[in-house]
Amino acid sequence: MSRDMISRDLIERDNARALPTLKADYEHLAAVLSRRGVDIEAIKAKIAGFGVAVPSWGVGTGGTRFARFPGLGEPRHVFDKMEDCGVIHQLTRATPTVSLHIPWDKVEDVVALKETGDALGLGFDAMNSNTFQDQPGQAHSYKFGSLTNTSAAAREQAIAHNVECIEIGRKLGSKALTVWLGDGSNFPGQSHFTKAFERYLDSMRAIYRALPEDWRLFSEHKMYEPAFYSTVVQDWGTNYIIATELGPKAQCLVDLGHHAPNTNIEMIVARLIQFGKLGGFHFNDSKYGDDDLDTGSIDPYRLFLVFNELADAEMAGANGFNPAHMLDQSHNVTDPIESLMVSAMEVVRAYAQALIVDRTALAGFQEGNDALMATSTLKTAFRTDVEPILAMARLEAGGAIDPVATYRAAGYRAKVAAERPAVTGSGGGIV
Ligand SMILES: [Mn+2]
């Protein structure tokens, strides 16, 4: 039995109040789906088995390059972050793992961290390394790059840091390392594209060699920022080359915000699936750039279209298909716990909508070149309000029918605000 962050009595009281309406909605949706040949219980079972990882850095308030406006009761260290993640999972039952960031989450006692996760019912998803900023006292600066730095000593230091992340992750039960770096250039001519990429590949080969047998190495591409002229791992093409060059344990990580506006991300996802190189996701949403807004808050249809590809691959039994699902967001104007709960539910919602797409009909319309009916088939699924499935799955797993309402009723933020004095530099960040 997991340690409760929110009173079980409160959850049960709130749920009891909401249950009659949920039951009626669920029965209605069951009838609607049944007419389409969809078994609601089968969809609910898949939803119950689905999880998305919470990024440890997401439970602190983020910021922009202009300012950061701290929230109340922000986590002071990784143990506080784990408790906030425990709240999210207890209420949504959709976030069974946490994705840690080193060194922001580095602790002396890794065993205690593992035990905290166990007590809260939380596992550890991919480890994230950080060579995009200098740490106090480090010998070599990353101002001009890390894994691609022209200095061999700086590159060695960056490699050693990634290997350390693997070692910490092993003790926690993680099975993957995500590498994102800001290496690139701000001026034409500043960096030799080919030499920089050769250095990158050599560094990543050294990290790959340190991977345990059952681990995966995710490389994450990003078009620009912090480098504004060129970025070494700038797009999925370069990312695919990396994963192919390194070997079978290397796969590509797709952060939805790391593309040019209007990029057809779902098509990138399909390509990576086809060639066994889709490692996983950082979910978020954006209007202009790497905005790190809440998942599904701007373009929920795009999120659905991404999941349409994922559900298609899952049902087709695509070779090597096992993507990691993680959130990667920065919360500036909301309570991060509320944003992460809502975002996790948006991810699950997109998955549920994708599961009810009539794939037999869609395939027929595609073969027959019936564009209108093909796209209508997707829209029919997208327009379906699947909330009763999500809510019933949460309820049956011990979560809240309405997680935000129950969270607010619990007064958790006020409670931790009293316990946690405001601190700066707790590692809330934008990655
Ligand atoms: Mn990311």
Which residues touch 409 (CB under 8 Å, ≥6 apart)?
A: 10, 14
pLDDT of 212 > 90? The answer is yes
The pLDDT value recorded for residue 423 is 64
The pLDDT value recorded for residue 392 is 98
The pLDDT value recorded for residue 343 is 98
| 386 Cα–ligand 1 center, Å | 28
| 350 Cα–ligand 1 center, Å | 19
The pLDDT value recorded for residue 424 is 58
pLDDT of 54 > 90? The answer is yes
| 311 Cα–ligand 1 center, Å | 22
Looking at residue 359, its amino acid is R
| 83 Cα–ligand 1 center, Å | 22
Looking at residue 284, its amino acid is N
| 238 Cα–ligand 1 center, Å | 16
Residue 22 pLDDT level (bands cut at 50, 70, 90): very high
Instruction: Identify whether 103 is preceded by a cis peptide bond (ω within 30 of 0).
Output: yes
**Which of 237, 312, 314 minimizes the C-alpha distance to 268?**
237
Gap between the Cα atoms of 347 and 360, Å rounded:
24
Share of the chain above pLDDT 90, in %: 96
Q: What Cα–Cα distance (Å) separates residue 30 from each residue in 304, 356, 399?
A: 21, 12, 21
| 252 Cα–ligand 1 center, Å | 12
Q: Write the CATH number of the domain with boundaries 52-383.
A: 3.20.20.150
Lowest mean pLDDT among 71-75, 192-196, 375-379, 426-430: 426-430
Cβ neighbours, 10 Å, residue 319 = 10
| 180 Cα–ligand 1 center, Å | 7
Gap between the Cα atoms of 305 and 302, Å rounded:
5
Contacts made by residues 298-302, CB under 8 angstroms, sequence distance 24+:
300/346, 300/349, 300/350, 301/382, 302/256, 302/265, 302/266
pLDDT in tens, 226-267: 999 999 999 999 999 999 999 999 999 999 999 999 999 999
| 316 Cα–ligand 1 center, Å | 28
Q: What's the per-residue H, E or C state across the chain?
A: CCCCCCCHHHHHHHHHHHHHHHHHHHHHHHHHHHHCCCCHHHHHHHHHCCCCEEEHHHHCCCCCCCCCCCCCCCCCCHHHHHHHHHHHHHHHCCCCEEECECCCCCCCCHHHHHHHHHHHCCEECCEECCCCCCCCCCCCCCCCCCCCCCCHHHHHHHHHHHHHHHHHHHHHCCCEEEECCCCEECCCCCCCHHHHHHHHHHHHHHHHHCCCCCCEEEEECCCCCCCCCEECCCCHHHHHHHHHHHCCCEEEEEECCCCCCCCCHHHHHHHHHHCCCEEEEEECECCCCCCCECCCCCCHHHHHHHHHHHHHHHHHCCCCCCCEEEECCCCCCCCHHHHHHHHHHHHHHHHHHHHCCCHHHHHHHHHCCCHHHHHHHHHHHHHCCCHHHHHHHHHHCCCCCCHHHHHHHHCHHHHHHHHCCCCCCCCCCCC
| 431 Cα–ligand 1 center, Å | 5
| 94 Cα–ligand 1 center, Å | 20
The pLDDT value recorded for residue 431 is 43
pLDDT of 425 > 80? The answer is no
pLDDT in tens, 61-89: 999 989 999 999 999 999 999 999 999 99
The pLDDT value recorded for residue 1 is 52
Looking at residue 66, its amino acid is F
| 197 Cα–ligand 1 center, Å | 20
Residue range 39-49: mean pLDDT, rounded? 98
**Which of 325, 327, 386, 376 minimizes the C-alpha distance to 355?**
386
User: What does the mean pLDDT of the chain come to?
Assistant: 96
pLDDT in tens, 143-169: 999 999 999 999 999 999 999 999 999
The pLDDT value recorded for residue 422 is 76
Q: What is the pairing mode between strands 216-220 and 278-283? A: unpaired
Residue found under tokens 């799955």: 393
pLDDT in tens, 88-141: 999 999 999 999 999 999 999 999 999 999 999 999 999 999 999 999 999 999
pLDDT of 356 > 90? The answer is yes
| 380 Cα–ligand 1 center, Å | 31
Burial 172-188 (b: 16+ CB within 10 A, else e): bebbbbbbbbbbbbeee
The pLDDT value recorded for residue 29 is 98
Instruction: Identify whether 226 is preceded by a cis peptide bond (ω within 30 of 0).
Output: yes
pLDDT of 380 > 60? The answer is yes
Residue range 176-191: mean pLDDT, rounded? 98
